[in-house]
Structure 1
């Protein structure tokens, strides 16, 4: 019987399946969400022991999910691994929040995933110990590492720009896929 609940939040069904396959068999009860809204709802309802969260998603991206988690002490205590194919963009935009989660760059293998999960659990234990000692780490992230609310607004704008850029790139990828399909159909027609 699985002893730990893991929530995988990613808009890519293939990614969710791959991550699920990488988890040690029999150790985890896996819950899946296809976007941040569904993920946040499952966090509140299921209280997973670990969250694997994609950063760039429709509806509610990873940054927005992390912001919502900060408002709920019980959610912020859950170990969190943020997943993205663009580590530099994520960590450059929100370096002061890296203490809240572990980051893993897509694509990754099972070994890297396990290391990230263990690191996320260690960070969560450290946060919990600090919280128990009266240090309000999560609630005061802005006070400790961001100069003020203007900086938070700036970060939100930067994340929004990243999300828009991601959407544009996704549209371009879809257009290229369509063109490739047309080229392949044309080639197949000429070969016959």
Structure 2
């Protein structure tokens, strides 16, 4: 009798939009994603990318930062300004010297980035990791509201308030704050936060640093001397609630 394990199920196909003006890069990326089982659309400039994102409703966007006309950052800004596209997962393609633009892209809500030259196989793995996380989050039953001092989060409505003032959080910032509220007083490394909050098996750990900094700017009285999200040097980050965290539905 054959007791060999059953083969792993292939990932569920997704519709992916690749926006890159370099035909060679776009062809290679599209080829690898197609062989991974996905349906791929391509655009050669920012405006065309926005048009296809509206028309074809992709599940994920692979976006080059250096584009003719509308650059990648402007495309990302416009997408995040659309309520129906605000949560579209985005992977940026960046040049090695574009660190400032990469950070800005993360602050605008990009999910991850890869630096050129890159391994197409690694890009596919990152894409599939992000898609898996997005689908898991969409199918999971949202938890009840969370409250701590003047902070209140409603996972079902995806809204957060402080002192009755709504906080303008990106999807990644919201998920990070919700996770920290559910685990007060526990230290998490950046690697743990990447995996447990966003399900990323790959990525630059500075991504976490950027999201923590942005979140501090929105919830701390003094982001330069944070009292809620503490840095534990050499380990990671810890949420120190100003008041006990409670389930707002209780």
TM-score, normalised by the number of residues in structure 1: 0.62
Structure with the higher fraction of residues in strand conformation: 2
For structure 1, the residue ranges without an aligned partner over 5 or more in a row are 149-192
Which structure shows the bigger proportion of residues in helix conformation? 1
1:107-148: CA deviation from partner (whole Å, max 9, x where unpaired) = 1113311232134335645886688522348x8248x73869
RMSD of the TM alignment (CA)?
3.1
For 1:70, the equivalent position in structure 2 comes to 80
Alignment partners' CA distance in 2, 1:127 and 1:21: 28
CA distance in 1, matches of 2:59, 2:100: 27
Q: Is the 8 A contact 1:101 1:123 kept in 2?
A: no
SS class of match (1:107): coil
Task: Compute the displacement of 1:77 (Å).
Answer: 2.4
8 Å CA contact 2:20, 2:44 repeated in 1: yes
The two structures have a TM-score, normalised by structure 2, of 0.49
1:59 is aligned, of 65, 69, 73, to 69
1:73 is paired with a residue whose SS is coil
**Contact 1:100–1:123 (8 Å) recurs in 2:** no
In 2, distance between residues paired with 1:81 and 1:95?
10
Per mean C-alpha deviation after superposition, the further-off stretch among 54-63 and 109-118 is 109-118
**Unmatched segments (≥5 aa) in structure 2:** 1-11, 143-152, 161-166, 174-213, 219-250
Q: What secondary structure is seen at the aligned counterpart in 2 of 1:100?
A: coil
Q: How does 1:1-192 map to 2 (within 5 A)?
A: 3-25=13-35, 27-86=37-96, 87-97=98-108, 99-121=109-131, 124=134, 133-136=156-159, 140-141=168-169, 145=214
Distance in 1 of aligned mates of 2:76 and 2:133: 15
Q: Provide the C-alpha distance between the structure 1 equivalents of 2:105 and 2:93, rounded to a whole number of angstroms.
A: 14
